[in-house]
Each structure stands twice: as structure tokens, then as C-alpha cells.
Amino acid sequence: MAVPRRKHSRARQAKRRAQWKGIAAQLVDCSHCGSRIRPHTICMSCGHYRGRQVLAVRG
């Protein structure tokens, strides 16, 4: 396996890591209760997915 010959400086590490960009999670409104959820997932507030009740929610 390849092993680095020298330690990379903090500046080089910072320059490399500066290219990584996180993106905010995309959220949509639940069609049944209106809470914000990730797309293509069951709403944990009401238990609906694509207009149908698929999960029994307590409370």
C-alpha cells in the first residue's frame, strides 16, 4: 500500500477540504398534514405516504 513520504501541512489540508460543500436537505410539505418532510418518505407526523395511511401514529 502507498504511504505518504511527508506530512501534509495544515494549509494543504485546508485547501483540499475547502472544495467539499455540504448541501441542505431538500424538504417538501406533506400533502395531508402540511409538515416539512424529505421527498419520497413517510410523514412521521401523520403516517401518510402518497395520499394513503401507511403507518399508525400514536397520539
**Cα-Cα end-to-end distance for the chain:** 56
**9-48 pLDDT, tens digit each:** 999 999 999 999 899 999 999 999 999 999 999 999 999 9
Q: Is the pTM of this model over 0.75?
A: no
pLDDT band at 57; cut points 50, 70, 90: confident
- Its sign, for the CA torsion 41, 47, 48, 52, is positive
Instruction: Specify the DSSP class assigned to residue 6.
Output: S
Domain boundaries defined on the chain: 25-58
21 near 33, Cβ under 8 Å?
Answer: no
What would you measure as the largest C-alpha separation in the chain, in angstroms? 60
Q: Given pLDDT bands bounded at 50, 70 and 90, which one contains residue 58?
A: confident
